[in-house]
Structure 1
Amino acid sequence: MTPEEPPPLPVAHDDREDGRDETPNERADRNWDELLQELRVMQTGTQILTGFLLAVAFQPRFEDMDVFQRDVYVVLVALAALATILALAPVGMHRALFGRRRKPELVKVATRIVKIDLVVIAALTIGVTTLIIDFTVGRTAGVIALIASVVAVGLLWLLLPRMIRRALSRRDT
């Protein structure tokens, strides 16, 4: 070792071949922190949509909604409640399991819940957009908004990450 080279870092247990030197507990802590950040973003969006939906029922024009729009509205309120419950579930689980050395299991289950919540939030976002356009512009525009929203979610939430993963795996080989 020459004087200008730094001394080698101590080697921690590398539990995966991803270039990170961390113990399983360190990995679980990092993954939990990342999940919490995702949940914060998801919860903010869900709160905004839920607040909008709750305010709609108390507007004078709520009476102008047709049966289809009211049915969609009720489904959207249920989806908003479900999205909130799902987003809070990992926090409740963490509280129940706190101090029991079960963070790896918690991260695994919470990851599944977050994925389910993303599907619910996608449906909620698509539905709210559809309802607003349907009510303000008309049914045809609402259907167009529905299709456009489904395509946007499909492209940005599903196809784009898949394309990035594929490009990175080709680059790494």
Structure 2
Amino acid sequence: MVPKCRSCGEFRPSTSGSLQRSRPGCPRRRKYTHHSFVSPVCRFQKRNARASKEFTFETNSMIAIRPGPGGVREQDGYIVKLDRRIKTALDETRLLLLGSQVLFGFLLESVFQNAFETLSRFSQYLVCAALALMVLSLGCLIAPSMQHRIVENGQSTARLEEATTSLAEWGLVSFLASLGLAMFIVFERIFGEVAGATAGAVSAALTGFFWFGFAWLIGKRGRQLMEEIAPTPLSTKIEQMLTEARVIIPGCQALLGFQLIAMLTHAFDELPFDAKIMHAAGLCLVAIAMILLMTPAALHREAFGGNDSETFLRLGSGFIIAASLPLALGISADVYVVFLKITHAIALSIAASVALLLAMLLLWYLYPIWLRANRA
């Protein structure tokens, strides 16, 4: 039996109904045509007729903008969603910390090397200055993770992205200055003061050009902020929390490794007994910080089976916030040891250690707590 079209009432030789709807006069075809999904190609063709408009399409992770014919291209590339931009910012901060830990470790270990005594007195004092700058750089680079945990409670916000950018820039400035001083120190010992000054100035200028000059030349075309009111998904919060643990760990591993090596050198044996105690205390504090930072990953595997959970998010955030305190205390303890070995002045060493400890506590705890209190 030939089926009858339910829309137009005519008998059409089809059992699926597709041929009836393919007839130009079929009401169901007209309804389907006017009220159904329009493919992206059709949308592009329609918008193509308006030269001043742009064709946009959105995916799960980014929005791409393409100009229509005759239109002005105001944006190059992609405007990435806020969650992904925060994750990228944290990864970039981690990359900066990986580079910083090398110089930080060199400055800590240099005072325990046999050739350190051959440096000029001026170069030895520059080691103190370079070390202080590197501590400030580490403080600025770790600070965004602390603000994300304390202020934003793991939520992705445009304020956090701006703060991460600003703190990373300040951290790079301190790193740049410390690198220039380190280059002067090593070149001055071998080739003299003129070569050392030239090497330090050239390295600082070259670093500044690549880190800041290029950004100034390119401009801020890719830094449009789009504040999103949607809450950050739990899986994204956990991923960002684990990334922040990986951000802080490089500072721990550099310090812990060089602290262990320093205790096996002859220069360490010549330190006063109180400096040895301070160094041992700093070693224990950094080891505690390392244990706390590695705990979230272990818990995620063993207790939660890799599944997302609000309980795990709260525990992991608590471990990260708690780990930064012994890390700051351990760094300040080693600053005291290095300053004491170079200057032989207890008062100056204590002042430098306390000042840098307060700077780290201000960046990691006091300022984020103040921001959170004012927001509430």
Do structure 1's residue 123 and structure 2's residue 333 form an aligned pair? no
1:19 aligns with 2:229: yes
CA distance in 1, matches of 2:247, 2:307: 27
- The one-letter code sitting in structure 1 at the alignment partner of 2:280 is V
- Given the alignment of the two structures, is residue 46 of structure 1 paired with residue 252 of structure 2, yes or no? yes
1:157 counterpart residue number: 364
Q: 1: CA distance between counterparts of 2:361 and 2:305? A: 39
Aligned length: 155
Q: CA deviation at 1:157?
A: 2.0
- Give the Cα separation in 1 of the matches to 2:296 and 2:369: 26
What are the residue-to-residue correspondences of 1:82-161 with 2, within 5 Å?
82-99=288-305, 101=307, 103-138=309-344, 139-161=346-368
Distance 1:98 1:132, change over 3 A: same
What TM-score comes out, normalization by structure 1 length? 0.76
Deviations 1:66-102 (A, max 9, x none): 1111111111111121111111111110111344745
Largest Rg, 1 or 2: 2
Q: Please tell me whether the aligned partners of residues 86 and 113 of structure 1 are also in contact (alpha carbons under 8 angstroms).
A: yes
1 CA distance for matches of 2:231 and 2:349? Answer: 51
Could you state the TM-score of these two structures normalised by the residue count of structure 2?
A: 0.37
Q: Give the counterpart letter for 2:260 in structure 1.
A: L
What is the CA distance between 1:163 and its match in structure 2?
Answer: 5.2
Map residues 46-65 of structure 1 onto 2, 5 A cutoff: 46-65=252-271
> Unaligned 5+ residue runs, structure 2?
1-45, 48-55, 57-154, 156-227
Q: For each residue in 1:15-54, what CA deviation from the matched residue of structure 2 results, as whole angstroms up to 9, or x when unmatched? A: x9x82256xxxx2211111111111111100001001101
Relative to its length, the structure with more helix (as a share) is 1
Measured against aligned partners, the alpha-carbon deviations of 1:123-160 in whole angstroms (never above 9, x if no partner) come to 11111212211222121221111221122123322343
Partner Cα distance (1:75, 1:97) in 2: 31
Greater Cα shift, 91-100 or 156-165: 156-165
- Percent identical residues: 20
Cα distance in 2 for partners of 1:165, 1:142 equals 34
Q: 1:55 to 1:99 in 2, by over 3 A?
A: closer
Between the aligned partners of 2:306 and 2:347, the Cα distance in structure 1 is: 54
Output the CA distance in 2 between the equivalents of 1:112 and 1:149.
24
Counterparts of 2:231 and 2:347, CA distance in 1: 55
How far apart, CA to CA, are the structure 2 residues paired with 1:82 and 1:149?
20
Corresponding residue SS for 1:19:
coil
Q: Which has the higher contact order (CA 8 A, sep 6+)?
A: 1
